[in-house]
Amino acid sequence: MSRKWNISVILLNACIYILFTTACTQKAESDQGVVLDEKQMAEILADAHLTESINKIEGDRFQLQFDLDHAYDIVFEHHGTTFEEFDASLSYYQDHPEKLEAIYDEVIIILSEMQAQNATRKSTEQADSAQ
């Protein structure tokens, strides 16, 4: 089983936990090892979702797919973490759905801000090219 598939399953599970918040067995933070803070988790998840979207959109457009495992390694390296730390942290947050929901609220804010910045940049470029 490739890590690409594992991350997709993990992200899907995270969404399911948000939608169907149920009673979870609470684990002590120390049982999870390193737990990334909520802000860092939100930033990593936002980048992971962007990575998957780019792969899907550009792969469909140009009939190619880039190596998602390598792309995720770059995301984790950029954020100064590893897949193992991310996975352990996500497991911790899945056991604390209220925290995971807050993380995904932040992911939505991050992606919305990126979308707004991109729209502004495109408008500016179009205005500059019209002159």
> pLDDT at residue 71 above 60?
yes
> pLDDT at residue 106 above 60?
yes
Nearest to 10 by CA among 73, 66, 93: 93
In the predicted model, what is the mean pLDDT of residues 57-75? 75
Can you say how many angstroms the Cα of residue 100 is from the centroid of all Cα atoms in its chain? Answer: 12
Rounded to whole angstroms, the Cα distance separating 66 from 85 reads 24
Q: How far apart are the first and last CA of the chain?
A: 53
CB 58 within 8 A of CB 64: yes
Among 52-56, 76-80, 111-115, where is mean pLDDT lowest?
52-56
Q: At what angle do helices 3-19 and 38-62 cross, to 10 degrees?
A: 120
